Amino acid sequence: MNLTHFRFETDADGVALATWDMAGRSMNVITPEVMDELGRIVDEVAGNPAIKGCVIASGKETFSGGADLTMLQGLGAEYARLAGERGEEEAMRFFFEESRRLTLLYRRLETCGKPFAAAVHGTCLGGAFELALACHHRVLSDDEKTRVGLPEIKVGLFPGAGGTQRVARLMQTGDALQMLFKGDQIRPLMARNMGLVHAVVPRADLVATAKAWIKGGGSAVAPWDVPKFKAPSGKVYSPAGMMIWPPANAIYRRETHDNYPAARAILQAVYEGLQLPMDLALKVESRYFAKILRSPQAAAMIRTLFVSMGELNKGARRPKGVGEVPLKRVGVVGAGFMGAGIAYVTANAGMEVVLVDQSAEAAEKGKAYAHKLVSDQIMKGRAKSADRDALLGRITATADYAALAGCDLVVEAVFEDPRVKAEVIAKVEAVLGPDAVFASNTSTLPISGLAKASARPQSFIGIHFFSPVEKMMLVEIILGRETGERALAAALDYVRAIRKTPIVVNDARGFFANRCVGAYILEGHLMLAEGVPAAMIENAGRQAGMPVGPLSLNDEVGVDLALKIVKATKAQLGEGAVDPHQERLLTALVEGEGRLGRKNRKGFYDYPEQGQKRLWPGLRDLCGPALDPDSVNFTELKQRLLVTQALEAARTVQEGVVTDPREADVGSILGFGFAPFTGGALSYIDFMGAAAFVELCRTLEAKHGARFAPPPNLLAMAETGATFYGEAARQAA
Ligand code: NAD
């Protein structure tokens, strides 16, 4: 056979080995060409009497990440073209057939009459794992890197190449739904325990084990094609089924608030599919898949969470002319809450870290945090004690600034006080080499202002982490007025090395993320001041798609911090820059009641030693009479909470703080959990359409005030029908 993306050979026992090894790519990915070649392999195995069966393995370091999502994006464009030319019905027929090609191919493999076995090492996700699921036997390597899973839900899709049907026939329905909803990557032993795979063996034995199964007479009939097959949870319409489905619906609502059509489609496809024989079940799955593939949520999530995030991670904003910046030794000054986390993620990425604080004890305390984090990893079986020793060996904790000599980059995370920062900048720069870059992790102080204390402002930049540093994937890079290209390249190379996602913004109060978050929290405060019951505010936040309500969020970041920011803003920008209702509420909480947030177990919520947090009953007395809940327009609460953030994001574009919509979208989801199904704060506007968004703003402005007034860029976009992405593309051209 003449193949480009597979090697195909048959051994003396008549067992074929198809090694997937795509030409010209470092990873295997499912493309139309791969589907064609796999189809030919299936035909050859089925039709050649000398071949007993076939093992599918990978010739790369890892198996495959699944389908090429840009291919799926392309299908959408083709649909639009056909709909325009030949009408919706024709377009939909094409779309349905095209989007189920993989389903039919896998089903052909499964029913071709010869046994197929998947031999998997490394990651095997999405459409690639669906291929493995269609094989009659699955063997995994016991390697640390091996993972299987169906993560489609994370980009607003679901496993539409048989995944929902085969998983639901391999395990209890509840477990299957959970796996499909979560989209987690599953380790080998767990996968075996879940019944997803048959064997876990050393990598060296992988192919031989899979072949041995075929030679030993492995069956070419999938369990669900054996007559009288019974699904593990039995029939859908049975007493047992009724124990599963009503709660499953409730859990779906609780977890998604019905914002994710793909999650709903999983429920439907499994529920309906389990009542049908496999071929019909697959057809049902395909119908839902075609529908979801055309949903705005999938389009938005694929664009932001797959395409844009991938581009930013690969350095889309990196200055072209600057070579790679060596980053062997990184200094972290200030070993407090943030500095300790920064030291950990840096050492974890293999760099040498010099961790400086005012005293050796304070520096050691910061290093102890790294010790705690690796120890937690060891407890979870994700690291070995040798890893801990090596990581801690890379961190030098000291009070001596001279130890920073030779650092390629220094990140400061000392107190948020311009005088302290200025002093630290001078002391650090005194020992740094000429090429070293100085970065500040400040969250509120403008970078250009801090850079005034620097003797080399071209090498001065903001690298703004989010807390907790080890968990949050976003890093905001802030350009001061004089920041040079090399400093930007260094910051981007650093963020890439610690495997986080960077966005690059221009200097302004609150940068990007904190401005939008601030608007969300402010809206919660103002609703409270209006008399909206606190529980409704919190539920509105979550139902709008935010991970937590605005009051919970404020408790996490600190009610006192919010008050501090309000006061600082007022001092610098005057009375008009802060909302008096918010100031009154925060002052009463912090100064009147000593309620600082989760940190002292008293904020908008009470945090009892035992049991769950509860909204503080005293809130009502503080805020005046409550509105009758039935008189509150709940839909409008949800709109307000998203619109206020999206508006703030649009203003950052208007002001030139954000220059690339991809960064606002990715930044808003990774930085503060902006309703992911929208694709991010600007996609929220783009998908709604600027005109509709402006109209919504006008309605809210009339009822709630000038903070909902749309900025000029949105007004112009509403006039012309432009989008943020369209505008960015136009400017780039
Ligand atoms: P923190 O109080 O926990 O830590 C500050 C540390 O700096 C302390 O250990 C202190 O001893 C040390 N320090 C002070 N002066 C020093 C000096 N002259 N030399 C060496 N060390 C010195 O504060 P934090 O929450 O880690 O915040 C640090 C910085 O990070 C601030 O600029 C803050 O705005 C920013 N930040 C904080 C968060 C957050 O969520 N806490 C998020 C992003 C950014």
Cite the residue boundaries of each domain of the chain with CATH code 3.90.226.10: 6-294
* Closest residue CA from atom 15 of ligand 1: 414
Distance CA 76, CA 705 (A): 40
Query: Measuring from each residue's beta carbon to the nearest atom of ligand 1, which residues come in under 6 Å?
Result: 333-339, 356-358, 362, 413-416, 420, 423-424, 441-443, 465, 467
- Rounded distance from Cα 355 to ligand 1 centre (Å): 12
Query: What is the per-residue pLDDT for 623?
Result: 86
Closest by CA position to 132, among listed 114, 151, 110, 153: 110
pLDDT in tens, 150-187: 999 999 999 999 999 999 999 999 999 999 999 999 99
User: Quick one: pLDDT band at residue 15, thresholds 50, 70, 90?
Assistant: very high
CA angle, corner 149, sides to 311 and 189, nearest 5? 130
pLDDT at 352: 98
- Banded model confidence at residue 286, pLDDT cuts 50, 70, 90: very high
Classify 329-508 by CATH class: alpha beta
Tokens of 593: 């009641």
Dist. CA 328–CA 150, nearest whole Å: 37
Report the atom number in ligand 1 closest to the C-alpha of 444.
Answer: 34
Mean pLDDT of 207-225: 98
Report how far residue 93's alpha carbon sits from residue 290's, in angstroms, rounded to the nearest whole number: 10
Comma-separated ranges of CATH 3.40.50.720 domains in the chain: 329-508
pLDDT of residue 74: 81
Q: What is the mean pLDDT of residues 18-47?
A: 96
126: left (phi over 0), alpha (psi -120 to 50) or beta: left
Report the separation in Å between the CA atom of 164 and the middle of ligand 1, taken as the mean of its atom positions.
48
Locate tokens 């020992």: which residue? 431
464 is catalytic: yes
Residue 356 alpha carbon to ligand 1 centre in Å: 11
Of 344, 356, 358, which is best to mutate to test ligand 1, by the most ligand atoms within 8 angstroms of its C-beta?
358
pLDDT at residue number 75: 82
Q: Which two tokens stand for residue 335?
A: 């070993």
pLDDT at 228: 92
The answer, yes or no, to whether residue 354 has pLDDT greater than 90, is yes
pLDDT score for 73: 78
Atom of ligand 1 nearest to the CA of 339: 26
381 has a pLDDT exceeding 90 = no
Q: Which of 464, 525, 581, 704 is catalytic?
A: 464
The secondary structure element, H or E, covering residue 201 is strand 199-201
Query: pLDDT digit string (tens) for 236-268?
Result: 999 989 999 999 999 999 999 999 999 999 999
| CA Rg value for the chain | 28
- Which of these, 649, 722, 188, 671, lies nearest to 474 by C-alpha position? 671
Q: How confident is the model at residue 319 (pLDDT cuts 50, 70, 90)?
A: very high
Atom of ligand 1 nearest to the CA of 356: 20
Across the chain, mean pLDDT equals 96
pLDDT category at 202 given cuts 50, 70, 90 is very high
Which tens digits make up the pLDDT trace of 571-614? Answer: 989 999 999 999 999 999 999 999 999 999 999 999 999 999 99
Is the pLDDT reported for residue 474 higher than 90? yes
CA proximity to 202, closest of 140, 148, 145: 140
Q: What is the pLDDT of residues 82-107, one digit of tens each?
A: 989 999 999 999 989 998 999 999 99
pLDDT at 533: 96
Predicted pLDDT of residue 454: 97
Question: What are phi and psi for residue 358, nearest 5 degrees?
Answer: -65, -30
Q: Would the pLDDT of 69 be above 90?
A: no
Query: What's the CA-to-centroid distance between 522 and ligand 1, angstroms?
Result: 25
pLDDT in the model for residue 382: 85
From 358, 398, 414, 470, the mutation candidate for ligand 1 (largest count of ligand atoms within 8 A of CB) is 414
Q: What percentage of the chain exceeds 90 in pLDDT? A: 93
Concatenating the DSSP letter of every residue in 219-241 gives -SS-GGGSTT---TT--SSSHHH
Q: Do strands 409-412 and 137-141 pair parallel, antiparallel, or not at all (unpaired)?
A: unpaired
Pairing label, strands 605-606, 614-615 = antiparallel
**Among residues 481, 573, 558, which one has the least CA distance to residue 521?**
558
pLDDT for residue 733? 85
CA 338 – ligand 1 centroid, Å: 6
Q: Report the distance separating Cα 643 and Cα 153, nearest Å.
A: 25
Is the backbone peptide bond immediately before 629 cis, with ω within 30 degrees of 0?
no
Q: How many angstroms does the Cα of residue 396 sit away from the middle of ligand 1?
A: 18
Where do we find the tokens 């809130």?
619
Question: Token pair for residue 603?
Answer: 């904020």
Pocket test for ligand 1, best of 332, 333, 338 (most atoms within 8 A of CB): 338
Per-residue model confidence as pLDDT tens digits over 108-167: 999 999 999 999 999 999 999 999 999 999 999 999 999 999 999 999 999 999 999 999
Instruction: Determine the topology of domain 514-656+660-729 in CATH.
Output: N-(1-d-carboxylethyl)-l-norvaline Dehydrogenase; domain 2 (1.10.1040)
Per-residue exposure over 659-674, b if at least 16 CB sit within 10 Å of its own CB, e if not: bbbbbbbbbbbbbbeb
Give start-end residues of each CATH 1.10.1040.50 domain in the chain.
514-656+660-729
Averaged pLDDT for residues 619-633: 91
In degrees to the nearest 10, what's the CA dihedral of 664, 666, 672, 676? 110
Structure tokens that stand for 345 in this block: 């993620």
β-pair partners for 728? none
Is the overall model pTM greater than 0.75, yes or no? yes
Q: What is the pLDDT of residue 563?
A: 97
Q: What is the predicted pLDDT for the residue at 68?
A: 85
Place of tokens 């993620």: 345
> Which CATH number describes the domain made up of 6-294?
3.90.226.10
Question: In the block, which residue shows the tokens 């050691």?
Answer: 364
In which region does residue 601 sit, left (phi positive, over 0), alpha (psi from -120 to 50) or beta (all else)?
A: left
Half-sphere exposure at residue 391, Cβ-oriented, CA atoms within 13 angstroms:
24
For residue 167, give the H/E element and its range. helix 163-170
Q: Whose C-alpha lies nearest to ligand 1, atom 35? A: 442
Contact predicate 589/581, CB 8 Å: no
> Residue 196's CB: how many other CB atoms inside 10 A?
24
d(CA 672, CA 444): 16
